[in-house]
Copies of this chain bind each other. A is one copy, B any other.
Amino acid sequence: MVTPDWIAVDWGTTRLRVWAMAGADVLDSRSSDKGMGALGPDQFEPALLDLIGDWIAGRPPVIACGMVGARGGWAEAEYRATPCAALDPARAIRPKAADPRLDVHILPGLSQLDPPDVMRGEETQIAGFLAGQPDFDGTLCLPGTHCKWVRISGGMVEGFHTFMTGEIYALLTRHSVLRLTVGDARPDAAAFLKAAAQALANPDLSPAGMFPLRAGALLAGLPAQDAAGRLSGLLVGAELAAARPLWLDRRTIIIGAPDLAAFYHQALTQAGADAHVMDGAALVLSGLTAARAAIA
């Protein structure tokens, strides 16, 4: 029987992950596909109880981050305006729960007014990173469905910029005419790097280069992995061109799934950036642990 003194929750759009914690130690962990995107207003409490119902006899605090706090989530947590610290657990929102054993705290997200931008969940990863490297000065790049580029200075989040590159790649390869050419092929690394360099040097190339992938397959048998690599390179290269002020002459740490992080790393290194990869798997938990220390 697990009796945690608190529970960590990472509740994104597609996944719900929970950890039974004793201080900074993990006693147990579970996950389900009951992400925020799949749930109606009354389904959050049952989805959480499904995973943690046998951990909460002692009413331990439950610290949650991510889209669970979005409009349309369980309860809307605020956005804190940058520049600011990555976390302010005192401004967590406490959703009403029918089960009296539930003591849930949802952490706020971050916002930026100009250009307008928002994040929910990544701020907790950033806090986890800063817990380990409090003096870091530079840029964090968090690739994924939406890639976040985050300027860090003096222990604060100065500002950030979101790119939809991952979502656009997925839409193009699953739903556009390019699905017939690329599908779910694994992107070829050499094709990726070449296209990324071209698009970084000439961002015009990105929109112009997409349909030729389909035509190249029809006319010259362009292999799916080459087309996948080239499409990814065109999109990531255009993102790197737009994000250039964020990585040029600034130490840049890429935090994300290993395969994707490696692609960003290679493209940035090829462009002369001072870029490094860090495994991000543990950072959400570090950030939630930092938040818990401040709350309870």
A: which residues have CB within 8 A of B? 71, 79, 111-113, 115-118, 146, 161-165, 167-168, 171-172, 175-178, 203-212, 214-216, 218-220, 222, 235, 238-239, 241-244
Is there contact, CB below 8 Å, between B117 and A207?
Answer: no
Q: Please judge, given known A-B contacts A163-B208, A204-B242, A238-B207, whether A117 and B215 are in contact too, CB under 8 Å.
A: yes
Q: Please judge, given known A-B contacts A207-B242, A210-B164, A242-B207, whether A219 and B177 are in contact too, CB under 8 Å.
A: no
Q: Which of B203, B220, B243 contacts A116 (CB 8 A)?
A: B220
15 A–B contacts, CB within 8 A, in A order: A71-B218, A111-B215, A115-B212, A116-B218, A116-B222, A117-B212, A117-B215, A161-B208, A162-B212, A164-B207, A171-B176, A204-B241, A204-B242, A205-B242, A207-B239
Is there contact, CB below 8 Å, between A116 and B216?
Answer: yes
Using CB atoms, name the residue of chain B closest to A162: B211
- Residues from chain B with a CB closer than 8 A to the CB of A216 are 116
CA distance A136 to B163 in the complex (A): 42
Q: Which of B161, B218, B244 contacts A118 (CB 8 A)?
A: B218
Copies of this chain, count: 2
Is there contact, CB below 8 Å, between A212 and B116?
Answer: yes
Using CB atoms, name the residue of chain B closest to A204: B242
CA distance A72 to B167 in the complex (A): 28
- Residues from chain B with a CB closer than 8 A to the CB of A203 are 203-204, 206
CA distance A111 to B267 in the complex (A): 32
Q: Please judge, given known A-B contacts A71-B218, A171-B176, whether A211 and B117 are in contact too, CB under 8 Å.
A: yes
Q: Nearest Cβ distance between residue A209 and chain B, in whole angstroms?
A: 8
Is there contact, CB below 8 Å, between B207 and A165?
Answer: yes
- Residues from chain B with a CB closer than 8 A to the CB of A161 are 208
Using CB atoms, name the residue of chain B closest to A239: B207
CA distance A211 to B244 in the complex (A): 17
Is there contact, CB below 8 Å, between A177 and B172?
Answer: no
- Residues from chain B with a CB closer than 8 A to the CB of A176 are 164, 167-168, 171
